[in-house]
Each structure stands twice: as structure tokens, then as C-alpha cells.
Chain A
Amino acid sequence: MLKLTHMKTNHWPLIIGISIPILFIIIISIIIFTPNLYIKPAHNFLYTTLGEENYYGSGQIYKNTYAVENERLVLRPGVLQEKQTYKADFLPLYLYDVTTDSSHQVTYEDEKNLALDPGPTSPDGYSVSWEYNHDGIFELFGSDGSKNGYFIEKGKGKKQLTGLNSSNGYYYQGNFKLIGWVK
């Protein structure tokens, strides 16, 4: 025999129980994503991509690399070591447009008169860095490799540089090199 005792209908514990995870997600979302809303960089930047030969010593270097001197883009001649040859005259040079999140290859001649800040932090306090993502807990909740890549950040806020990560497919940490921020 089982005794069923009288119980007044009370929905509050159930409502609280269901609300806890939902509120947690909402509050954490606000804390994490609110700073990202204020990420509005104003300065474009010039960057280059270092070839693999720089790391694995294939014996080829570029004839000219870049530097910023007196706020201007200047060429730095590559010095041939023993058994090295030139791969090309110039390292590839790109201009990243932060307003459209797009990246375009440019030439030294086009950009040599730009006023540049060598950084690494932009005049308005932004910096670019690579971030790894994770693979869930033992892959239990899935991986999210799409979030690996370069981010522009300031304080606690950040934004993925989609123009840098997606359009130029094979970026990995290390082959991006910031040259300077356009003033």
C-alpha cells in the first residue's frame, strides 16, 4: 500500500529550476559579448605573409622586405646567405580594411607615402593576435575550429578578422606579420 499525500500545486520550484540554466547563459552572454559590441577600430593596417622558406630554410628569400621608419614604409634588402637565392623582388604586401573586413594585395609603390604607426598597438589602442580554439570536452560537445584565427582586440572586447582568416585560406599562426597601422 502506498500513501499519496496531499500536495498543493506549486509551480515555483519548477520555474526556478528551468530558469537557472537559461538565466546563466543570458547573463554570461551579456558579460562576454557586450564588450565586443564596442569593438570599432578606425585604423586600417598593412601586413605581410612570411613564406614557409623563412622557417624551413629552403634556400630562397625575398629581395626586399618592409619596415616603418619615420612613419613611412621603407624597403629593407634581404641579405643572401650561403646557398640562398631570391624567390621574388618583394614580400607580398596587403592592406586590411577594418570597416569592410576585407583584405587586398597592394604594392610598395602604392603605399609608400602612407603615414604609418609601427605598433604593435594601433593609435586607438587595438592589437591583432592569433587565438586558438578548443575541442570541447574530449570532443564530447564538438569542436569549433572555425574560431581559430586572428582577432582584433581592445580591453575585454574582440572581433574576428574575417577578411584575414577566411579569404586568405591558409593562414596559420606565425605567417602573419603586422607592418604598421595607417594613421
Chain B
Amino acid sequence: MEKQQIIAFINEQIANGKITPSDLATITSTNSSVVVKEQSSPANLINIFYTIGTIIAIVGVGILVAQHWDEIGFAGRVIVTLGISLATYIFGWVFGKPEQKSLSQIMFVFSAALAPLGSYVLLHEAGVTYDQTIQIMVATVLFIIFGTALFFSKRNILVLVTIGFGSWAYYAIVLKMFGSNGYYLDGDFIKWASMLLGAAYLFIAYGYSSSVPATDESDAREKRAIQNVLYGLGTLAILGAGIFVGGIFDLVYIALIFAAIYGSVYVKSRSMLMLGSLFLMAHIIKITSKYFIDSIGWPVALIGVGFLVIGVGYMTYYLNRKFISS
């Protein structure tokens, strides 16, 4: 069958309603090496305007509410926080068409940003202390609410929102558990908890695109952006917490850093590479000052560290250019 015949056949099937354009999009996203036309620039421009408009609106609402916080009373405070959060959540659902994707995601972000504040205002006015137990409940409820929205609407930004509320619940639970049993003073637990959460972020980032295939090119780009954020946050959590553990873990930590650098090439994540390199530099400085200052002295140590940091910088540049940017 010739190409023109195939196209004519597909057109005919679309006209008959046997297949839809979304079926074609699914086929192109799940089959190998399919090249999709890039999103047109006017749509990008609209997205930029949406984003700028949202930021301006959030800042405006924030200033207005802050100026009149005491005057608007309980009802006013609940309306401008929880009320707007609820309204924007509903709008996020209502804007369900593919071309309204950006607007819908912005609404969800607005809703997610105001929801914790709204819950605080409501509970505070009701005389409920915003303690750990309440925070666990609020975070879990918000996690479920926005997780439901993610499950049904498939808006990519909701991945970050849901993970954010999930992380809040996680820390509140972990702190309550350790705190209530006197382990709190042993501060290492929060480092291990953070490192595990970081590992979870990396798995979720890696698994997200393979579990939920992109429907079109713009969706693929969004998923890629979400993945990069999660790779960055996961790396930051693991390496940021790990550097403070110390002791024998200093050796394991070197392996973690190189795992991050190797992993960054594997998953093509620039944020992971940058963070891996930054923590490698920090670790070199830490190890040198801790173990070698007494034997070789400050000046020699500084020279050594300087060259090592230059080496790490060049390695980062090389890996980025050779394996990630390409």
C-alpha cells in the first residue's frame, strides 16, 4: 500500500468516526521513533502569558489579603483562602479540554498553594491547634484530593503537587513517631528519612514516564520537565542529607556521588549532574579539611582542592556536552 493510500484510508476512518485523532496520538507516542510536529509558537506564547498572569494575580491577591487580613473577618479569611482554593480546584477540573491544559494546571497550582493556608485559617478559627497530628491529617487529605485529580485529569503538574503533600505527610508522620518516643535528639533519623524520600523521588521520576506514556509532544515535554524536577529534588535530598551523616558513611557517600553522576548520564538529567558535581566539590573540601589539613597543611590542601574542583568542573562540562545536551 502506498503512502498516499494509507493516508487516504486513515482519513476515511477518521471521517467515519472509527478512529479519533487521540487514537493517532496514542499510536505515535507508543510506537518507536515517531517524529511529532513541534508545538506551534503562539501556544507557547499563550502559556507564557498564562504563567505571568498567574504570578501577578497571586502576588496581587497576597498583598490585598495581607493588607486587609484583620478587617475581612473569619468569613472573609476563609473565602480568600479555602474558598479560592476550592473554586480554582473546580476550575482545574472544568478546563478539561486538551487546549485548556495550561489553564487547568495553573488553576490546580493556585488551589494547591492556597489549600494549606486555608486549612490553617479554618482550623485556627475553630480553635484547633495545628499540631503534628492535625498536620498529618491535613496533608493526607490534600494528598488524596490532589491525587484524585491527578488520577482522573492526568495533569502533569499534579504529580509535583501530590508528591509535595505526600512529603509533608511523610515528614509529619516520621517526626511524630520519632518525637513521641524520645529518639528525636538522635538527629540522624531525619537524615535517613530524607535520603529514603530522595530515593523515592528518583524512582517515581524514572517510573512516571514509563508508567504513563505521553499522549503528544507537549505532554512529553511536560513529563520530561516534571522528571527533571524530581531527579533534582531526589538528588538534593539524598546528597544534601547524606553529607551531614559523617563517620564511615563518608566513604559510602563518595559512591553515592558517583552514582548520581553516572545516573545523570543514564537518565539524561542535567540537574542531577550539577548537584552531583556540586556535592562532589563540597565533599572534597570537607574530607580535605577534616583529614588532611593536619598532615599537609592549609596551603597545599588549598592547591590540591583547587585543582580537584577544576577537574570536577571540567568533568561536569564534558559529561553534559557529550551525554546530556546531545
Contact = CB atoms under 8 A, between A and B. Distances in A.
Interface of A: 1-18, 20-21, 24-25, 28-29, 32-33, 131, 133-134, 136-137, 140-147, 158
Contacts of A5: 32-33
11 contacts: A1-B38, A11-B207, A11-B211, A13-B204, A17-B201, A17-B204, A17-B206, A21-B200, A142-B133, A142-B172, A144-B180
Contacts of B177: 25, 28-29, 32
A131 B135 CA distance: 22
Given A14-B204, A21-B196, A28-B178, 17 more contacts: A1-B36, A3-B33, A3-B35, A6-B31, A9-B210, A11-B207, A11-B210, A14-B208, A17-B200, A24-B193, A32-B181, A136-B132, A142-B133, A143-B131, A143-B132, A145-B131, A158-B182
Interface in B147-199: 166, 168, 170-184, 190, 193, 196-197, 199
B259 to A, nearest CB: 16
Nearest to B133: A144
Contacts, number: 135
A39 B37 CA distance: 67
Nearest to A20: B200
> At the interface, is chain A mostly helix, strand, loop or mixed?
mixed
Closest CB pairs A-B (n = 3): A17-B203, A13-B207, A14-B207
Contact of A20 (B33, B181, B203): B203
Interface residues of B, number: 56
A25 B181 contact: no
B60 interface: no
Contact of A142 (B37, B131, B200): B131
B220 interface: yes
A141 B171 CA distance: 7
B172 A21 contact: no
A158 B29 CA distance: 56
Contacts of B36: 1-2, 4
Contacts of A15: 207
Contacts of A2: 35-36, 38, 217, 220-221
